[in-house]
Each structure stands twice: as structure tokens, then as C-alpha cells.
A and B are shown apart, each in its own frame.
Chain A
Amino acid sequence: MSRVKNVFSKGKAFIAFITAGDPNLETTEKLIPAMSQAGADLIEIGIPFSDPIAEGVVIQNASERALAAGATTDKIFDMLERVRKKTSVPLAFMTYVNPVFVYGVERFMKRAAACGIDAMVVPDLPFEEKEELLSSCQARGIDLISLIAPTSKHRISMIAAGAEGFVYCVSSLGVTGVRSRITTDIAEMVALVKAARDIPCAIGFGISTPEQARTMAGYADGVIVGSAIVKIAEQYGVECVGPISAYVRQMKAAIE
């Protein structure tokens, strides 16, 4: 059974994203327990991909830095095995379908389960193609997270009906990145999900400030923050653990 159900059991969830291996894997290894301590309820670990088409420049650059520093899927698994001895925080992988497919879906999920991965977020695997990973995920108790977007409209009920863990609500059109304003009718999106299925909803894309997090948390069960954290990693490099922990603490406090 995945730990994802625990994520939403203690009030609004704060979900934090980092790119594994940015600036290096030793730093990621320290960041995960530190972010958990600071209040992150679920940590999304990005496996860097050469061509992240759903990503804005901040996470694109982080992927490039991580790959240039030598991060590979195997080294990320090794790092997570060590991390799992220190923390039981729920963990998700965020990656594109190709790194999983080429590694071998079964082989990938076996290792992912062994290091305690609870969920998979794969932005280029829409509902129509999820069979690619679904049975292997299910066999290992890993939730394959469904995404819905502002354009999903009548697709929402179909997607929600088959969702596992939680539904990732993409707040805005376009790619990931910090946004000053989120204009989508998030309340309606969430209502459409809930009408189809009683499942937690977390909102991601564009959230960076405590005020935005508080507003978004008002509409849903959790918020997901990526680019804003990755920017701190970019700014502080190997010294980022302190500043990121402080940021996570502030964001978690804002939604409580």
C-alpha cells in the first residue's frame, strides 16, 4: 500500500519538487530528509530528462545541470536507497515516460518499489496511454498519478474515475514555472473531480508565494511547488539545504 493516503490525512498537504542531482546527488540526499523535517508532506523527485517538454526554463536548466553533473537513473535509485534509511516521507518520481520505458518498465518499478517510491507523475503519459506503466505500477503498489489541465473539461470525469492516490491539477496553460497570476477557475476544476470521485486534489504549476499557496490550498487538498524551490537550488548550489528548508517551512505554515 502506498504512503500517498497519509499525505492528505493531516490537513492541507505541501508537496515539494526537486530535480535529483541538482547540483549533485549528495545535496539531493541531504535535501529530502531536510524538506521532510521542514514540513513537506510528499516529495516529488524529478529524474532529469534531456528534453523535458512540459518544463519551463527553470526546471529545464536544473535537468541540464543534473545531467551534466552525472546524475543517472541508477545513481538516483542508489541515492534513494540511502535516503530511505533516514526518512519515511512519502516520495514520488516525476519523470518523462522515455527514461522509464527505456530502463524497462518492470525493472524500473521493481527498483522504485525497493527504494520506497509511492507514486509516479509522468507528464507526457495522458489517460489514453497510461497502460504503458499502469500494470507495473499497480503490481508494486505504486500510484500512477493522473493529471488534469485547464483544457481537460469533459475529460475530467473520465480521468478522475480511474485516478489513484491524488489528482494533480495543472493550474495554468503552458509549461512549469513561476507565475504572478493564476487565472484558471481552480474551484471548478476541483469540483468536477470531486463530483466524479472522492479523491484528494493537489494544485501545481506556477505557485511560488505563501499567499498563492494559501489561496490555492483553499480550493484543494494540497499544493505542489516546483520551480520556486528549484530556483533556490540554482541560486545556492550545494549550500541550498538551509534556504530550501526555510522556504518549505514558510510555505507549509501558510497553508496550515
Chain B
Amino acid sequence: MKKGRFGNYGGQYIPETLMNAVLELEEAYEYYRKDEHFQLELDELMKNYAGRPSILYYAQKMTRDLGGAKIYLKREDLNHTGSHKINNVLGQALLAKKMGKTRVIAETGAGQHGVATATAAALMDLECEIFMGREDTQRQALNVFRMELLGAKVNVVESGTQTLKDAVNETMREWTSRMDDTYYVLGSVMGPHPYPTIVRDFQKMIGKEIKEQLQAVEHRLPDAVIACVGGGSNAIGAFYEFIDDPTVQLIGCEAAGLGVDNPKNAATLANGSVGIFHGMKSYFCQDEFGQIAPVYSISAGLDYPGIGPEHAMLADTGRAQYVPVTDLEAVEAFEYLSRTEGIIPAIESAHAVAYACRLAPKMAGDKIIVINISGRGDKDVAAIARYRGVKIDE
């Protein structure tokens, strides 16, 4: 396999201006990846700042109610800042610091990655600027204020569809203009090499912990691991440890918005084709001329027209399956998990919950499903109220 490739996918399709910055990052990562001090520092942050390991919770009521496979929830929602995004961000911010960078920039969709980046920047004394599409600043207004509280500057992106893809465009443009002191903290397993590898490595403890925690209580592997997929970081984090365990089904849930047959969706593997965008070769929602499609999902974090290159490879080889989940199914699952287990999941994670609700009843009682609850749903409560037509005073 060529450097930075996952099968055919991945690569470094970026302007020449950024090449040395990306090569510098690759070199630094290769060094610190094997550096004992770096790993110890990161472990310490994970334990005492992020609150790892996150709990693997047996959802007894949900299991009983669905009447099939046993359901466990991997509680990434309990991490500091409320999602899996903090895992990657602490790793990259520490790397930025070691590289001597003094300023971090990042894109954000739902605002979770922006909040996590602003948090790490506050902790590590880094200047921080976040880029967020106008539409997302409106549907995730609370997170904009959180980032500002944490000392970050939030730049509202007015170009294109004013969502996550445009926020990535604008962060790349910003990076092109200033890279000597600036580190781009990419939020998912996407972008040019080495990002998909770096982000995956900083998220893979999710699956590692699942394996150990389940071993301790069930003395066996799960039968299925289910996660939502935007760019794919929480999903690859949950899957990676199990790739060589062929009995474990790996299932990624894409945002189907109003349905895969409706143009308003973001289901990249269901509807997309192979292309080259945002630095990588992968699958994208696009037209016959390679124009990137304006995608849609109720979930700002899944509202992205592409998918990370490693997922593209896992989809092609069939090692993982990717299924579409609509807005309505996700909202129902959001409400269901809240009512049944007293856990309000992020609307992103609710896509995974929705598919598990479909799958569990079809599986025998001695089977085990693990759902990755990538984040908590506080940020989404107002949007769900709006979706249901409930008027609340925000």
C-alpha cells in the first residue's frame, strides 16, 4: 500500500502551499507516536482530565424492551465536554504544543469538536480560532457561546452551504495563509494523510476499552458494534480494535436526512461515488461532474458529504457495513433512549441507537450489541423541540 493510503483511498490532495506543513506534521507524529513521555502525558490527560476510561453500560431496560440481543452502551457522552471529540483533540493539541505551535484552528459542525478544541486550547495556553457554518451557528447556538466562554474566537462561515463542509474549506484556506505558528486540529478521520491515521489512533481506545470491559463482564467479544458516521472518527475508534475479529459485525450509521431517495440526505456510502475532495480520495455525495452535493441532516455533526478513507476501504471490502438512518428514526431513538434509560444521546449518536433498535429484536438473546454513544444530547434539546413543534424559551 502507498503511504497514507487505505487501499485506493486517502492520499494528500492539497495545495503545494500546505505540503510542507503536512509533511512536518507527519514527521512530528511519527516521532511522538513512539515517544514514551508523550504517551504518558496523554494517558494522564485522558484519565484525569477527560475522565477515561468511559463506562460500558449494560442497558437492561432497553434490552428487555426490544426483546433480542443484549445491549451495551459505550458512554463517550460522559467524557469531559460531552463527546468522543475530546480524545482526538487532547492528542492533537498536545502534539501541536510539542511541535512548538502557539495557535490552533479547527472546523466544527455540531460544535462538539469546536468546543473540545477550545477546551484543550484553554488548558494548554494555545490561541484558538474555530470556523463554523452560519446555519450550524444557528442550530447549535449554545455551543457557539460555549466556545467563546472558553476563550476561542468563532468565525462564522458564509460561503457555500454554510455547514460543515464549508467550515472545512474555510479552515483549510486559513491554514494556507498561516502555518508557521498554526496547527490545524482536524475533527474527524478525514482530510489529507496523516490526519485519518492520527485521528484514528487518538480514537482507537474506544474499541480497546470496549473489548476489555466486555471481556470482564461477559468473557467474550460482542457480536455487533454500532456507531454513527459523519467523517467517521467515533466509528473507526470503536471499530478498529475489532477489525481482525471476523465474528464482530461492524455497522456504521449514516445520516439519511429525509430519506435516501430524497435529495435532502447525507448518506455518503448509500448515495455517493468515489471522488477526491478535502485532501483525500474517498466516497462523496456529488453530481456526475464532480460538484459536491449540498447535503442535509438534522444532525449538524453528520451533515457532511464525505466519509473518511479508511471507512471507504472497509465498505469496499465488506468488513464493515454502512446503513442509512433518517431524521425521523434518529429523533425517535433520541426520545426512546431518554425515556427508557434516562440517557439523552447526541442526535448524531441517536442514529446508531435507531439502527440498534431495528437490529436487536432480530438477534437471539445470547448475542451482544455495543452501541457507541458518541456524545450527549444537551446541545440538541432545543432542535428536537423545534422538530416536534414544541415552543420553548431558549
Interface residue ranges, A against B (CB under 8 Å): 49-51, 53-54, 56-57, 60, 67, 72-74, 97-103, 123-129, 132, 147-153, 155, 159, 170, 173-175
Q: B176, B288, B289: which contacts A174 (Cβ < 8 A)?
A: B176
Residues in A with CB closer than 8 Å to B277 are 51, 98
* A102 contacts B17, C-beta separation under 8 Å: no
Question: Secondary structure of the B side of the interface?
Answer: mixed
Listed in ascending order, the chain B residues whose CB lies under 8 Å from chain A are 11-21, 159-160, 165-166, 169, 172-173, 176-179, 273-279, 284, 286, 288-292
**Alpha-carbon separation in the docked complex, A126 to B11 (Å):** 11
Contacting B177 at CB < 8 Å: which of A67, A97, A175?
A175
Whether B290 contacts A173 by the Cβ 8 Å rule is: no
Total number of A-B contacts with CB less than 8 angstroms?
115
User: Are A53 and B289 closer than 8 Å at their CB atoms?
Assistant: no
Q: B286 contacts which of A102, A128, A155, A159 (Cβ < 8 Å)?
A: A102
Residue pair B15, A123 in contact (C-beta under 8 Å): yes
A50 touches B17 (CB 8 A): no
Q: Smallest distance from the beta carbon of B230 to chain A beta carbons, Å?
A: 17
In the complex, are the beta carbons of A99 and B290 less than 8 A apart? yes
Bound together, the chains give a CA A128 to CA B21 distance in angstroms of 14
Specify which chain B residues have a CB less than 8 angstroms from the CB of A173 in the assembled complex: 17, 176-179
What are the residues of chain B within 8 A of A49 when measuring CB–CB? Answer: 290-291
A51 touches B292 (CB 8 A): yes
Report the separation of the CA atoms of residues A152 and B21 in the bound assembly, to the nearest whole angstrom: 10
CA distance A74 to B287 in the complex (A): 13
A123 nearest CB across to chain B (Å): 5
With A128-B12, A174-B173, A175-B173 as contacts: A102 and B19 at CB distance below 8 Å:
no
Q: Is the CB of B177 within 8 A of A126?
A: no
Task: Say yes or no: B176 contacts A126, CB within 8 Å.
Answer: no
| Residues of A close to B176: CB separation below 8 A | 54, 173-175
Counting chain A CB atoms within 10 Å of each CB, the highest count among B14, B179, B273 belongs to B14
Contact between A129 and B291, CB atoms less than 8 A apart: no
Question: Nearest CB to that of B18 among chain A residues?
Answer: A151
Contact A98 B15 (CB under 8 A): no
Contacts of A128 in B (CB 8 A): 11-12, 19
Bound-state Cα–Cα, A149 to B16, Å? 6
B17 touches A124 (CB 8 A): no
A153 touches B20 (CB 8 A): yes
Known contacts A102-B273, A174-B173; is A53 also within 8 Å of B291 by CB?
Answer: no
* Known A-B contacts A99-B290, A102-B290; A152 and B16 likewise in contact (beta carbons under 8 Å): yes
Q: Which residues of A contact B276 (CB under 8 A)?
A: 97-98, 101, 124, 132
Tell whether A50 pairs with B292 under 8 Å between CB atoms, given A151-B19, A151-B20, A155-B20: yes
Chain B residue nearest to A151 (CB atoms) is B20
For the complex of A and B, the 9 pairs showing the least CB-CB separation, nearest first, are: A102-B290, A174-B177, A149-B17, A99-B290, A98-B290, A50-B291, A50-B292, A149-B16, A147-B16
| Other-chain contact of B16, A67, A101, A126 (Cβ < 8 Å) | A126
Q: Beyond the given A51-B292, A98-B275, A129-B12, please list 13 additional residue pairs across the A-B interface where CB-CB is below 8 A.
A: A53-B278, A72-B289, A74-B289, A98-B290, A103-B289, A126-B12, A128-B11, A152-B20, A173-B17, A173-B176, A174-B17, A174-B178, A175-B177
